[in-house]
Copies of this chain bind each other. A is one copy, B any other.
Amino acid sequence: MTARRKPSTETPVFPKPGHNHARCASEALRKAEAVCTARKTRLTDIRRQVLELIWQSHVPVGAYEILSQLNAGGGRTAPIAVYRALEFLMDNGLVHRLASLNAYIGCAHMGDDHHAAQFLICRTCGTTAELESAPLKRALTHAVAERGFSIDSQIVEISGVCPHCRATA
C-alpha cells in the first residue's frame, strides 16, 4: 500500500441511488457513437435501442427483458435480433455479459479496450459496477502464470451488498 488511496482514479465510486443517471446514459451513447465511428462499425437502430435499454440503469438486464421492452409497442422483433445486437455490442466493447446472471450491462470503460473486467453485483438492489483493481489484476496474472497457464479470457463476478444498501440496512 502506498500513501492514501485516491478515490477518483483508484476507487471509482459505486453508482449512488440518486445520481443523475440520464447523464450516464447519454454519455454512454455518445461514447458508443465515437467508438463505432473509430472502428468503422455501424451503430444501427436496433443496436442503439438495445444499448439504450441496457443503459436505463446500472442493473444488468436479461436478453428477453430487452426483447419485451423492444416489443412493448407491439413490435415483432425476434430473440435472435436481440442476441445479434448484444453480440455486436460485446464485440465492440460496449457491453458486458454477466455469466452468473445471464444478463447484460453497459461497459463503464468504453474505448479503453479492456476485454477483461471484474464486477461487483449487489444482491439487494442489483446495481452492478466494474471493479478496476490493478493489484487484483496482477495477483490474478501472476497466480495463473505461475501454474504455466496462459489466459485468453476471464470472468470475475462478486456478489454481495453494495455500500449504499449496507448503509440503508
Contact = CB atoms under 8 A, between A and B. Distances in A.
Interface of A: 5, 11, 14, 99-100, 118, 120, 122-123, 129, 131, 133, 135-136, 138-140, 142-144, 146-163, 166
A14 B129 CA distance: 33
Contacts of A148: 14, 162-163, 166
A85 to B, nearest CB: 21
A100 B157 CA distance: 11
Given A99-B100, A139-B133, A162 B146 contact: no
Contacts of A151: 158-160
B157 A154 contact: yes
A155 B152 contact: no
A144 B163 contact: no
The 8 closest A-B pairs by CB, nearest first: A148-B163, A139-B139, A133-B143, A99-B99, A151-B160, A155-B157, A154-B158, A136-B139
A143 B136 contact: yes
B156 A152 contact: no
A14 to B, nearest CB: 6
A120 B129 CA distance: 24
Given A144-B120, A157-B154, A149 B163 contact: yes
Contacts of A5: 146
Contacts of A161: 149-150, 152
B153 A140 contact: no
Contact of A146 (B11, B146, B147): B11
A149 B158 contact: yes
A149 B162 contact: yes
